[in-house]
Amino acid sequence: MRLVSTPVGQPLSGTVSVPGDKSISHRAVILASLAKGTSRISGWLDAEDTQATLNACEALGARSQWSDDQGMAILSITGTDGRMSEPGQPLDLGNSGTGVRLLLGAVAGQPIKVTFTGDASLSQRPMGRIVTPLQQMGAGFSSTGDDTADSTIRLPLQSLGPLGGQKLQAIDYRLPVASAQVQAAVLLAGLQATDAVSVRQPGVCRDHSERMLKLFGADIHRQDAELLTIRPGGLSATQVTVPGDFSSAAFLMQAALLVPESSVMLSGVGVNPTRTGLLDVIDRMGAEVTVKASQTPPHAEPIAGLHCRHSLLAGIRVPEQLVSNCIDEFPMIMALAAGSQSTTRIRGAAELRVKESDRIAVMAAALQQLGVEVTEYPDGADVTGGAVNGGEVDAHGDHRIAMSLAVLGLIARQPVVISNAQPIATSYPNFVADLNSLGAQLQWQT
């Protein structure tokens, strides 16, 4: 499908409650499925990616049920008490990279065989960096690629459980690069190991898994800024509140910053400090965003309202130490840079090339098609702000690129038509409706 974004002639205004956080929604379902008892999850994101993870967990033995609590939808998950069932068919994770990578860790210590598949995009994404530490713990895997080459281990991929019928072994694993998904997979496998498992990270990682494991009663401890240790043991059912997704809020923030005289309030947004590097980046660009924090209980995710106002943005050199803290927001950052008054330089972001698409190449090509000056580098790009022309661009099935370009179309000279934009539904099904409620003019075309 194609998404048409028509330039707007008036400010955007209003309040939006963004959908639940995708990363946290994946983790809530997986941990609840491993736990003993029934967990209640409020604010869960009901989107294609998270539904794929929920379906997989049900195939592994968990049970789910929806209910209504005073107008709030509650997802209840009855867990397996750490004893998952062997599914009768392959688990299709669709486009859910988070779902498949975390589940690989969750089933690694289970004495069952599980085959994971995905769509064409997910099947091209490397899985070796997940498989490597799990193999070091004694888990077995079978893939169609070369099992000794990280870059060629891809879906379909079969988890064979612990080799030799033994339990997983404890390891002290150092991540080659900071990765919340690899960290989470090793920690989940650590619940089923013979002794304590340690994970060392070279930089900032999202701590969603650490917070939620504590919420479910795991024996997990942070030794220092780089070292996490988890001891084997079971999880207990609990209540989880999923905050609004900061990465989804970023696109509405982008719209408010770019469209003249706009003022938009985003309510109930998760502002985990390991996730909000974008706020530091756009603050350096001159963005006017006010954070109004709310009170939250221990181990819960911090939540805030974000008041976003139109700003005259300046190009900057994005500090490399912030890159891992806002890796999902770089398509939006590149689009913001296109609407700025000078050049933004991005380096140290090679991870963008192995996301749902090669985000550096796809965004560079799309921006150039719209008349924006872009110079591409192996680990980033230079984007020079100026006039944005209309035209047709290709999102290559990447939801974040599609949304970034749709927002950029609001300040273009002519409409921007984005092809292959339907995967927006994987993370933000109400994106078009929410943006239009603020005064935008987006429309789907078949």
* pLDDT tens figures, 216-263: 999 999 988 889 999 999 999 999 999 999 999 999 999 999 999 999
If pLDDT is split at 50, 70 and 90, which confidence band does 300 have? confident
pLDDT tens track for 262-291: 999 999 999 999 889 999 999 999 999 999
Res 306 pLDDT > 70 = yes
- Closest Cα to residue 322, out of 291, 346, 356, 302? 346
Looking at residue 155, what is its pLDDT?
96
- Residue 435: φ, ψ to 5°: -70, -40
**Catalytic member of 49, 328, 398, 434:** 328
pLDDT digits (tens, 9 = 90+) for 78-91: 999 999 999 999 99
* Confidence check: pLDDT of 345 > 60: yes
CB 356 within 8 A of CB 363: no
368: left (phi over 0), alpha (psi -120 to 50) or beta: alpha
Whether 2-19+243-445 and 22-241 share one fold: the answer is yes
Question: pLDDT tens-digit profile of 99-136?
Answer: 999 999 999 999 999 999 999 989 998 899 999 999 99
Give CA–CA dist 158/366, Å, rounded: 36
Burial (CB < 10 A; 0-12, 13-18, 19+), residue 405, is buried
Q: Average the pLDDT over 54-68 and give the result.
A: 97
Mean pLDDT rounded to a whole number for the chain: 94
308: DSSP letter: E
21 pLDDT exceeds 80?
yes
CATH superfamily of the 22-241 domain: Enolpyruvate transferase domain (3.65.10.10)
Paired with 263 in beta bridges are 13, 309
- Greater model confidence, 178 or 440: 440
Residue with the bigger pLDDT between 47 and 79: it is: 79
Mean pLDDT of 368-375: 97
Nearest Cα to Cα of residue 102 among 170, 168, 51, 53: 53
User: pLDDT, tens digit, for every residue of 392-407?
Assistant: 999 999 999 999 999 9
Characterize the bridge pairing of strands 288-293 and 38-42.
unpaired
> Cα 61 to the chain's mean position, in Å?
25
CA distances from 111 to 59, 107, 133, 268, 341 (A): 15, 8, 18, 41, 58
**CA-to-CA distance for 54 and 439, rounded, in angstroms?**
34
Q: What ranges do the domains of the chain cover?
A: 2-19+243-445, 22-241
328 is an active site residue: yes
As a whole number, mean pLDDT of residues 177-201 equals: 95
Sheet holding 172-174, edge to edge: 172-174, 197-200, 227-230, 220-222
Residue 192 pLDDT greater than 90, yes or no: yes
pLDDT tens-digit profile of 374-430? 999 999 999 999 999 999 999 999 999 999 999 999 999 999 999 999 999 988 999
**Residue 398 and residue 423 in contact, taking contact as beta carbons nearer than 8 Å:** yes
Question: Per-residue confidence at 145, pLDDT binned at 50, 70, 90?
Answer: low
For the chain, what percent of residues have pLDDT higher than 70?
98
* Gyration radius (Cα) of the chain, Å: 21
Pick the CATH number of 2-19+243-445 from 3.65.10.10, 3.20.20.70, 3.30.70.260, 1.20.140.10: 3.65.10.10
204: nearest Cα among 266, 265, 146, 275: 275
Burial of 107 per CB tally in 10 Å (0-12, 13-18, 19+):
buried
CA distance 252 to 249: 5
CA distance 323 to 326: 6
* Distance of alpha carbon 1 from the chain centroid: 23
pLDDT at 299: 77
pLDDT of residue 146: 52
> pLDDT value at position 8?
97
Contact between 67 and 224 under an 8 Å Cβ cutoff? The reply is: no
pLDDT at position 223 is 86
Tell whether the model's pLDDT for residue 198 goes beyond 70. yes
Inform me whether the pLDDT recorded for 436 exceeds 70: yes
Q: Which two tokens stand for residue 53?
A: 């993870």
pLDDT band with cut points at 50, 70 and 90 for residue 151: low
Helix (H) / strand (E) containing 196: none
Alpha-carbon distance 81 to 76, whole Å?
15
